[in-house]
Structure 1
Amino acid sequence: MNSIPSSGYAVYFNENGYDALNELLEERHYSSIFVIVDTNTNEYCLSSFLTLLATESRIEIIEIESGEGFKSIESCLEIWSILTELGADRKSLVINLGGGVITDLGGFVASTFKRGIDFINVPTTLLGMVDASVGGKNGVDLGNLKNQVGTINNPEMVLIDSRFLETLPQHEMRSGLAEMLKHGLIADKSYWEKFLDLSQVDFADFDQLVYRSVEIKNHIVTQDMTENGIRKALNFGHTLGHAIESLFLETGRPILHGEAVAAGMILESFLSLKKGLLSASEYAGIKSTIKHVFDDLEFSENDVAEILELLIHDKKNEYGSVLFALLDGIGRVIVNQTVDNELIIAAFDDYKN
Structure 2
Amino acid sequence: MNSKVFIKKGDYTNSKDFIRETFETFKDIEFSEGEKVLIYFDGDFDKNKNISTFPNPVFIEELVKFLLDKGVNVRVGSSVLEKDKDIIDILEDYPVDVVSFMLEGFEKTKHKKIIIGKERKKVGDHIQRRILSKIYLPKSFFWADSLIPISKIKLHPFFTFSGVIAGVTTLVPSYTRTELYFYGASPKDFAAALSEVFTIVKEKVKISFLDGVKIFQGDEIRGSKFDLNVFISSNDMLSLDSLGSVLVGFKPSNIPLFTSLSLRHLGTYRLTQITLSGDYFERLIRHPEPPSLRKISLFGKTKFFINREKCTDCEECLNVCAFSAINLKNYTIDNKKCSACFECFLRCPEEAISFKN
TM-score bucket of the superposed structures, by smaller chain: 0.3 to 0.5
> Whose helix proportion is higher, 1 or 2?
1
Greater RCO, 1 or 2 (C-alpha within 8 Å, sep 6+) = 2
> Whose strand proportion is higher, 1 or 2?
2
TM-score computed with the length of structure 1 as normaliser = 0.38
TM-score computed with the length of structure 2 as normaliser = 0.38
